[in-house]
């Protein structure tokens, strides 16, 4: 008999494991000082299970004690022009849509604080951001005095911070007890009926359909689709106002308000359970095939004496390298974030270098971890006078 797990989202006992990976690093974005430290980095297991009742996918082997979120956590995408344009447009859209001017904004999991600062700048708002990895000294500019940061996880004890707009981007996927967490947010909002809650997370139908194995890693223990995200919010006392996918279909966003009176009806796009079950069935086969294809590609390049580097040393890069397990066939990972350069990839040990390093290394193949940056990276390679074969996942 296959073991059935209880869903952390809806509480039904019916989750079955469909994907396993042993020995993966328990963090992707921690700055590691040496190759030795990288090699002996703590490992954990991935056992992804699917809930047929609500569509939620969770790593049932996840242990929160093994992950670290601290000052040496370096995840920002804020050094990319492509990302900054998207981020600024998102902030502007939220300000227009929810009339965020001279309002109080709370951001849960604010990272390095860029988004909160943008909302404060563009709408003359005030803000409080929560994140154990925040670096106050890196937050500068005219609006910096209107935002303050608390270097801690958001929890019940901060419920006194009332806000007109609560946002939480790329954080919920790091939390295992999802229903408990959304319940905490709902209780903190209380009877402030006009408060809008905005969440952004990775979209997971794409991950299953395209077998985007680079998007599956230890830190991400929770995987949502439009349907499972909406069902979770409704079950915790929210009305779903809007659900969207953006950033090349990679991000899923939800806008919700505290539910009052007659609940709103589910949106048509929430009906994704059978589609999800289908992609889940196909996933194990696709995974083996895709991993083999990439392994061969790297090994063939190696056999021809070609040099291969990764572009993107964040979570996708870490997952790609640990899944492929090709040792030194890939020697370096490139990153434009200067804070990551000079450090090492957990477990596989590649050194993280800046783009300029490539002018002396002269790679033949660059594997880009996220297709959305193709144009930006292509321009950068050209600027450096390089013409390697640029392939994207
Ligand atoms: Zn469920």
Say if CB 60 and CB 22 are below 8 A apart: no
Q: Mean pLDDT of successive 10-residue segments in the chain (393 residues)? A: 88 95 91 94 96 96 87 79 91 96 97 93 96 84 91 91 95 95 95 96 96 95 97 96 93 96 86 94 97 96 96 95 94 94 96 97 97 95 97 93
Residue 50 CA, ligand 1 centroid: distance in Å: 8
**What pLDDT sits at residue 137?**
79
Residue 62 CA, ligand 1 centroid: distance in Å: 17
**What pLDDT sits at residue 69?**
76
Residue 58 CA, ligand 1 centroid: distance in Å: 9
Give Cα 5 to chain centroid, integer Å. Answer: 24
Angle between helices 81-97 and 374-383 (to 10 degrees): 140
Asked, for residue 10, whether it belongs to a domain, the answer is no
Residue 242 CA, ligand 1 centroid: distance in Å: 21
Asked, for residue 248, whether it belongs to a domain, the answer is yes
| 3-state per-residue secondary structure call for the chain | CCCCEECCCCCCEEEEEEEEEEEEECCCCECCCCHHHHHCCCEEEEEEEECCCCCCEEECCCCHHHCCCCCCECCCCCCCHHHHHHHHHHHHHHHHHCCCCCCEEEEECCCCCHHHHHHHHHHCCEEEEECCCCCHHHCCCHHHHHEEEECCCCCHHHCCCCCCEEEEECCHHHCCCHHHHHHHHHHHHCCCCCCEEEEEEEEHHHHHHCCCHHHCCCCCCEEECHHHHHHHHHHCCEEEEEEEEECCCCEEEEEEEECCCCCCCCCHHHCCHHHHHHHHHHHHHHHHHHHHHHHHHHHHHHHCCCCEEEECCCHHHHHHHHHHCCHHHEEEEECCCCCCCCCECCCCCCEEECHHHHHHHCCCEEEECCHHHHHHHHHHHHHCCCCCEEEEC
Residue 220 CA, ligand 1 centroid: distance in Å: 17
Asked, for residue 207, whether it belongs to a domain, the answer is yes
Residue 8 CA, ligand 1 centroid: distance in Å: 7
Domain of residue 210 covers 81-275
Asked, for residue 55, whether it belongs to a domain, the answer is no
Residue 303 CA, ligand 1 centroid: distance in Å: 47
**What pLDDT sits at residue 141?**
84
- How many domains does one find in the chain? 1
Asked, for residue 375, whether it belongs to a domain, the answer is no
Residue 206 CA, ligand 1 centroid: distance in Å: 19
Residue 337 CA, ligand 1 centroid: distance in Å: 37
Asked, for residue 94, whether it belongs to a domain, the answer is yes
Residue 98 CA, ligand 1 centroid: distance in Å: 31
**Which pTM was predicted?**
0.92
**What pLDDT sits at residue 1?**
61
Using a 10 angstrom Cβ sphere, with 0-12 exposed, 13-18 middle and 19 or more buried, the burial of residue 265 is exposed
Asked, for residue 191, whether it belongs to a domain, the answer is yes
- CATH number of the domain enclosing 252: 3.40.50.150
Asked, for residue 333, whether it belongs to a domain, the answer is no
Residue 173 CA, ligand 1 centroid: distance in Å: 15
């Amino acid at each position: 008999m296959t073991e059935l797990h209880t869903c952390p989202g809806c509480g039904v006992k019916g989750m079955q494991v469909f994907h396993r990976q042993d020995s993966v690093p328990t963090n992707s974005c921690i700055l590691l000082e040496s190759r030795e430290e990288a090699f002996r980095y703590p490992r954990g297991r991935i056992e992804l299970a699917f809930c047929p009742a609500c569509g939620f996918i969770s790593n049932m082997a996840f242990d929160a004690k093994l992950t670290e979120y601290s000052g040496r956590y370096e995840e920002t995408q804020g050094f990319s022009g492509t990302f900054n344009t998207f981020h600024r447009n998102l902030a502007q859209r939220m300000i227009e849509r929810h009339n965020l001017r001279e309002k109080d904004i709370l951001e849960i999991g604010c990272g390095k604080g860029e988004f909160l600062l943008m909302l404060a700048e563009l709408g003359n708002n005030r803000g409080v951001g929560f994140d154990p990895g925040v670096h106050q000294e890196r937050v500068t500019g005219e609006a910096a005095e209107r935002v303050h940061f608390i270097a801690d996880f958001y929890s019940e004890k901060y419920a006194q911070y009332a806000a007109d707009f609560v946002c939480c981007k790329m954080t919920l996927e790091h939390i295992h007890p999802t229903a408990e967490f959304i319940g905490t947010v709902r209780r903190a909002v209380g009877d402030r009926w006009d408060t809008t809650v905005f969440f952004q997370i990775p979209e997971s139908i794409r991950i299953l359909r395209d077998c985007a194995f680079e998007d599956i890693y230890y830190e991400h223990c929770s995987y949502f689709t439009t349907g499972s995200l909406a069902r979770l919010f409704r079950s915790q006392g929210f009305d779903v106002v809007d659900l969207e996918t953006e950033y090349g279909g990679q991000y899923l966003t939800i806008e919700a308000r505290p539910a009052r009176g007659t609940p709103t009806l589910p949106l048509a796009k929430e009906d994704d359970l059978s589609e999800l079950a289908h992609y889940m069935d196909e996933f194990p086969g696709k995974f083996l095939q895709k991993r083999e294809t990439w392994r061969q590609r790297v090994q063939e390049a190696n056999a021809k004496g070609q040099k291969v580097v990764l572009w993107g040393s964040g979570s996708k890069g870490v997952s790609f390298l640990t899944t492929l397990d090709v040792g030194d066939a890939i020697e370096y990972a490139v990153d434009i974030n200067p804070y990551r350069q000079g450090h090492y990839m957990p477990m596989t040990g590649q050194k993280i270098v800046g783009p300029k390093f490539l002018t002396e290394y002269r790679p033949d193949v660059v594997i880009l971890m996220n297709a959305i940056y193709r144009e930006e990276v292509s321009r950068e390679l050209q600027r450096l006078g390089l013409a390697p074969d640029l392939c994207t996942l």
